[in-house]
């Protein structure tokens, strides 16, 4: 969605909405319908409608406008304004918001418009980008199954035992990120650490897809929002609240992302086969580990979130855009349900982490 705005009067709109198209007088006199971006509309209102009451903002999705939309500076303002060269189809109108001046006759951007115009919601559905992974990363001889393992201690132990063989290296500004392969019952399994946070995790997932992996299971820990989840209790997220940034570049601006149903089922079958207690539910993915306030935690609890972490929504979004399978196993870690944060020693549970990795490997290879 790309938001553009048109200022008109409530009376004019109430009449126009009865027709399939909207054609204000300026379409005949100027040859186009005047519009603005969210960054321009306050200037336009204060310049052309100072102190005028009874105005509304038509919130338009430029992608749905059937007539040509041209950005141009017709009046030497130094800005290029969007102009619609033809009648406006009513189906492109997302909403109508009252637009009133303050006591001094000046206009300000309505909060809902400011929110809708946030750049993070400017989703482009094209799968092709200027920096396209498969153009800069060549495929290698690699297995299609991959475990994205957040447990560096587990990977270190596997490497020390000679079970991991490095087959490639990915890089970021924090240094090299080895890509490993191991063999389980004669089958190849790729293992790598996806980094921390949604942006890095999405980037590394993109790159490992470009190398040739197609079926992913991640394993990691998470803070619990349900005090009944003991340390080590397994949570299988089927839905993730998108309170981070990366996923909005892969999916439209809905509030949640979903894991691959096939992958979730594979995880459930693996856990059931090994008699491991688990719960399936919603997780909260956030970029703001130090902004998990009591108010927001309570809100996420009301929405049904069981855990909080930093990557799941991004993984789900990348998987959906790129057409690969993704699921995740989390284990209950620190506790955010009390008056004070409780670490619960969650990062020192080596046995839990090792077991979760092997369950993830088995589930992945069953895909």
Mean of the per-residue pLDDT values of the chain: 95
What are 18-61's pLDDT values in tens digits?
888 999 999 999 999 999 999 999 999 999 999 999 999 999 99
What are 268-313's pLDDT values in tens digits?
999 999 999 999 999 999 999 999 999 999 999 999 999 999 999 9
The answer to whether residue 1 scores a pLDDT higher than 80 is no
Contact in structure between 306 and 235 (CB atoms under 8 Å):
yes
Q: Which residues contact 286 (CB under 8 A, 6 or more apart)?
A: 243, 244, 292, 308, 309, 310
Q: Does domain 133-365 have CATH number 3.80.10.10?
A: no
| Closest by Cα among 4, 249, 197 to 117 | 4
**Per-residue pLDDT, 116:** 82
Cα separation, 204 vs 326, in Å, equals 14
Cα separation, 174 vs 324, in Å, equals 27
Beta partners for residue 71, in sequence order? 82
Q: Does domain 3-121 have CATH number 3.40.50.300?
A: no
Cα separation, 65 vs 43, in Å, equals 23
Cα separation, 16 vs 180, in Å, equals 63
Q: Where are the beta strands (DSSP E) in 185-214?
A: 187-192
**Per-residue pLDDT, 97:** 94
Q: pLDDT class for 6, splitting at 50, 70, 90?
A: very high
DSSP structure string for 89-129: EGGGEEEEEEE---TTS-----HHHHHHT-GGG-----S--
Cα separation, 325 vs 73, in Å, equals 47
**Per-residue pLDDT, 118:** 84
Beta partners for residue 243, in sequence order? 286
**Per-residue pLDDT, 198:** 97
Mean pLDDT score, 124-148: 95
Cα separation, 1 vs 122, in Å, equals 6
What are 171-213's pLDDT values in tens digits?
999 999 999 999 999 999 999 999 999 999 999 999 999 999 9
Q: pLDDT class for 75, splitting at 50, 70, 90?
A: confident
In the block, tokens 């971006």 appear at 37
Q: pLDDT class for 335, splitting at 50, 70, 90?
A: very high
Residue 76's alpha-carbon distances to 33, 66, 82, 311, in angstroms, are 18, 27, 14, 46
CA 5 to chain centre: 25
**Per-residue pLDDT, 56:** 96
Residue with the larger pLDDT of the pair 118 and 93: 93
**Per-residue pLDDT, 348:** 85
Global pTM reads 0.83
The answer to whether residue 112 scores a pLDDT higher than 90 is no
Mean pLDDT score, 66-80: 91
Q: Which residues contact 241 (CB under 8 A, 6 or more apart)?
A: 255, 256, 282, 283, 284, 285, 300, 303, 305, 313
The answer to whether residue 221 scores a pLDDT higher than 80 is yes
**Per-residue pLDDT, 15:** 87
Q: Where are the beta strands (DSSP E) in the chain?
A: 3-9, 21-22, 33-34, 55-61, 68-72, 81-85, 88-89, 93-99, 145-149, 165-172, 175-184, 187-192, 215-224, 234-243, 256-258, 278-286, 305-309, 325-335
| Closest by Cα among 28, 165, 12, 149 to 87 | 28
What are 225-277's pLDDT values in tens digits?
999 999 999 999 999 999 999 999 999 888 899 999 999 999 999 999 999 99
Residue 106's alpha-carbon distances to 37, 44, 59, in angstroms, are 18, 11, 20
Backbone angles phi, psi at 73, to 5 degrees: -110, 90
Q: Where are the domains of the chain?
A: 3-121, 133-365
**Per-residue pLDDT, 37:** 94
Beta partners for residue 89, in sequence order? 21
**Per-residue pLDDT, 341:** 94
């Amino acid at each position: 969605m790309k938001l553009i705005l048109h200022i008109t009067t409530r009376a004019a709109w109430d009449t126009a909405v009865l027709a399939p198209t909207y054609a204000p007088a300026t379409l005949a006199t100027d040859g186009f319908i005047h519009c603005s971006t969210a960054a321009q509309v306050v200037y336009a209102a204060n310049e052309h409608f100072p102190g005028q009451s009874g105005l509304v903002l038509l919130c338009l999705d430029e992608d749905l406008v059937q007539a040509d939309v041209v950005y141009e500076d017709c009046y030497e303002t130094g800005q290029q304004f969007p102009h619609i060269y033809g009648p406006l189809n009513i189906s492109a109108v997302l909403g109508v918001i009252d637009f009133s001046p303050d006591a001094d006759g000046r206009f300000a951007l309505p909060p809902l418009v400011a929110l809708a115009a946030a750049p993070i919601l400017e989703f482009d559905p094209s799968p092709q980008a200027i920096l396209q992974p498969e153009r800069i990363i060549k495929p290698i001889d690699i297995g299609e199954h991959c475990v994205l393992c957040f447990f560096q201690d587990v990977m270190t132990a596997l490497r020390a035992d000679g079970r991991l063989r490095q087959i490639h290296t990915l890089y970021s500004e924090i240094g090299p990120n080895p890509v490993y392969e191991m063999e389980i019952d004669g089958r190849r399994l790729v293992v790598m650490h996806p980094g921390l946070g949604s942006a890095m995790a999405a980037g590394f997932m993109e790159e490992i897809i470009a190398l040739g992996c197609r079926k992913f299971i991640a394993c990691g820990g998470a803070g619990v929002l349900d005090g009944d989840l003991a340390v080590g209790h397994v949570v299988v997220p089927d839905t993730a609240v998108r309170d981070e940034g990366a996923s909005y570049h892969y999916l439209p601006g809905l509030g949640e992302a979903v894991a691959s149903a096939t992958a979730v089922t594979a995880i459930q079958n693996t856990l059931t086969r090994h008699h491991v207690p688990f719960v399936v539910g919603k997780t909260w993915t956030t970029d703001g580990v130090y902004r998990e306030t009591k108010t927001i935690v309570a809100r996420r609890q009301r929405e049904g979130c069981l855990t909080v972490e930093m990557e799941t929504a991004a993984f789900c979004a990348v998987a959906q855009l790129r057409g690969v399978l993704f699921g995740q196993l989390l284990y209950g870690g620190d506790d955010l349900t009390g008056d004070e944060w409780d670490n619960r020693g969650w990062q020192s549970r080596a046995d839990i982490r090792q077991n979760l990795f092997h369950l993830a490997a088995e589930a992945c290879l069953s895909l």
